[in-house]
Structure 1
Amino acid sequence: MASIFRFKQFEVDQSDCAMKINTDGVLLASLLEVEPVDRVLDVGTGTGVIALMLAQRLVDSRVEAVEIDPLAAAMADRNFRNSIFQERLELHATSFQQMDVQGHYDLIVSNPPFYTDSLHNPDERKKLARHTDLDFFAELLDFAALRLSDRGKLVLILPTALAETLAKISAERGLYCSSEVQISSFEGESAIRKIVTFERLRVELPAQRAFVIYAAKGIYSEAYRNALAPYFLTF
């Protein structure tokens, strides 16, 4: 049975994807700060939702996506071909480590697997989508250091502790944290996620801003509604 998630300008069939559309992904696509760019890459695209949101948002950009899971890659490719942005979207059905690409990207984004300390999921496809270790992130940082343009940015959404770890090891690759969005469920609570931007230019102190998802239990904050209003039919 198809599982269709309808947005204002596109729709996403996620029936063959181990990891469905989630809050992390849509917040990454809507909250990252970026000027108009030529070329974008979404690493681990899954359903393709982040790539589609960025294609809507960056009207002159070519948006590429890479996905290692064959079923998810095929579904994302169909979602791309069924969208009004199809001419600016491209799917690579492989791992980012095995991509055969030329040139550089101005923006690389990812809502990556990050359960580095958890037990493996018994479902093999969900394990592939959700479980990794720091070697994965070291390879992603190496890829970004090689494939980002001079002023390019790598933007990830991560648990707070992992974001802090990557900010330390990224410097070894010439990439530095320039900004972060600290996401919490409710006002006054600690951040549960960070959207972290890495780039080649080193700054003394990364820019920081807070983002709260809920105004009260079951009620989205005005900031959340405003961020997703260009995309969600319900807002």
Structure 2
Amino acid sequence: MASIFRFKQFEVDQSDCAMKINTDGVLLASLIDMHDAKRILDVGTGTGVIALMLAQRMGDSQVDAVEIDKLAAAMAHRNFNNSIFRDRLVLHATAFQHLQITHHYDLIVSNPPFYTDSLHNPDARKKLARHTDLNFFGELLQFGSSHLSPQGKIVLILPTQLAETVAALAIEYRLYCSAEIQISSFDGDPVIRKIVTFGRMPTTTIDERVFVIYKSKGMYSDSYKQALAPYFLAF
């Protein structure tokens, strides 16, 4: 049975994807503070929703997306081809480590697997989508160090503690955290996710801001509505 999620300018069939559209992914795509990227790479695209949102948001961009799950890659490819952005989206059914490219990226994004210390999911495809170890982040940072343009950025959404670990790891690859968005469910609640931005230039201060998803139970915050208004039919 098809599972269609309709947006204002495109729709996403997620019926063959182990990981469905989620809050982390749509917040990452909508809150990235970069508007002029020409070459974008979405690592672990899943349904393709982040790539599609970025193609909508950055109208002059060329977006590459990689996905190692074959069924998800096929679904993302169909979602791309069914969109008005099809000419600017390319799906690579492989790992980012195996990409054969000669160009550099202005923006590399990922809503990566991050259950590094938890019990693995018994479902093989969900395990593939959700679980990783720090080697993944080391390889991603190394890839970024080699394939980012001079002003290019890597932007990830991660749990708080893992974000701090990855920020420390990035320094080994001469990449430095320049900004972070601290995401909480409600005002005053603990930070549950961070959107972290890495670039080549060391900085003495990190641009920090807070983002709250809900203003009350079942009611999205004005900030959330504003961020997703260009995409969601509900806003």
TM-score over 0.5 for the pair: yes
SS of equivalent residue, structure 1 residue 183: strand
Aligned twin of 2:191: 191
1:58-117 superposed Cα distances (whole Å, 9 cap, x missing partner): 000001100000000000000000000000000000001111111100000000000001
> Which residue of structure 2 aligns with residue 163 of structure 1?
163
Q: Offset of 1:38 from its aligned partner? A: 1.3
1:30-76 CA distances to partner (integer Å, 9 max, x unpaired)? 00100312100000000000000000000000011000000000000
- In 2, the alpha carbon distance for the partners of 1:48 and 1:86 equals 12
Q: Distance in 1 between matches of 2:98 and 2:74?
A: 17
Q: Match for residue 85 of structure 2? A: 85
The gaps in structure 2 that reach 5 residues or longer are: none
What does the per-residue CA deviation read over 1:18-37, in whole Å, with 9 as the maximum and x for residues that have no partner? 00000000000000100312
Partners of 2:92 and 2:75 lie apart in 1 by 12
Percent sequence identity is: 71
Paired residue type of 1:142: Q
Distance 1:37 1:98 in 2: 23
Q: Alpha-carbon deviations, 1:122-158, whole Å to 9, x = none?
A: 0000000000011111111111111101110000000
CA drift at 1:182: 0.2
Q: How far apart, CA to CA, are the structure 2 residues paired with 1:35 and 1:232?
A: 19
Deviations 1:162-210 (A, max 9, x none): 0000111101101000000000000011110000000001110110000
CA separation in 2, counterparts of 1:35 and 1:85?
Answer: 17
Residue 141 (structure 1) aligns with: 141
Give the counterpart letter for 2:76 in structure 1.
Answer: A
Q: How does 1:1-235 map to 2 (within 5 A)?
A: 1-235=1-235
Quick one: distance in 1 between partners of 2:102 and 2:15? 32
> Aligned Cα RMSD in Å?
0.5
In 2, Cα distance between equivalents of 1:19 and 1:32: 21
- TM-score under structure 1 length normalisation: 0.99
CA distance in 2: counterparts of 1:147 and 1:125, whole angstroms = 28
- What are the ranges of 5 or more consecutive residues in structure 1 without an aligned counterpart? none
Aligned equivalents of 1:123, 1:36: Cα separation in 2: 39
Matched letter for residue 45 of structure 1: T
Q: Kindly report structure 1 stretches of 4+ aligned residues shifted beyond 6 Å.
A: none
Structure 2 CA distance, aligned partners of 1:81 and 1:64? 13
Equivalent residue letter for 1:124:
A
CA distance in 2, matches of 1:38, 1:48: 18
CA distance in 2, matches of 1:146, 1:35: 22
Give distance in 1, aligned partners of 2:224 and 2:189: 16
CA distance in 1, matches of 2:169, 2:217: 37
Q: Distance between the aligned counterparts of 2:133 and 2:39, measured in 1?
A: 28
